[in-house]
Amino acid sequence: MIMEELDCLGLKCPRPIIELARRIDTLADGDQILIMADDPAAGPDLVAWCRMRGHELVSSDPPRFVIMKRS
């Protein structure tokens, strides 16, 4: 399992989601990505994005979010 990091601190939504969508395609199934995002909308947006895309939100402790890629 690989843990990638994505620094989105200071970026306003939807930029953290856009950056995540670009990066997640480089990961293998089961890899995780740590996203640092301090926009208040990031948490709810990441929950919805994971649900729509079939990925798993492993932890949500703003500003730290961990997502596991699922194929």
Question: Is residue 30 classed as helix, strand or coil in its secondary structure?
Answer: coil
- 71 pLDDT higher than 90: no
Q: Determine which one of 6, 13, 36, 57 is catalytic.
A: 13
> What total of structural domains would you count in the chain?
1
Instruction: From 10, 1, 11, 68, select the one nearest 34 (Cα to Cα).
Output: 68
Q: What is the pLDDT of residue 59?
A: 96
Q: What is the number of residues in the chain?
A: 71
Boundaries of domain holding 49: 3-68
Q: What is the pLDDT of residues 5-49, one digit of tens each?
A: 999 999 999 999 999 999 999 999 999 999 999 999 999 999 999
Q: Clarify whether 50 is annotated catalytic.
A: no
- 2 pLDDT higher than 80: no
The DSSP bridge pattern shows strands 64-68 and 3-7 to be: unpaired
CATH number of the domain that residue 45 is part of: 3.30.110.40
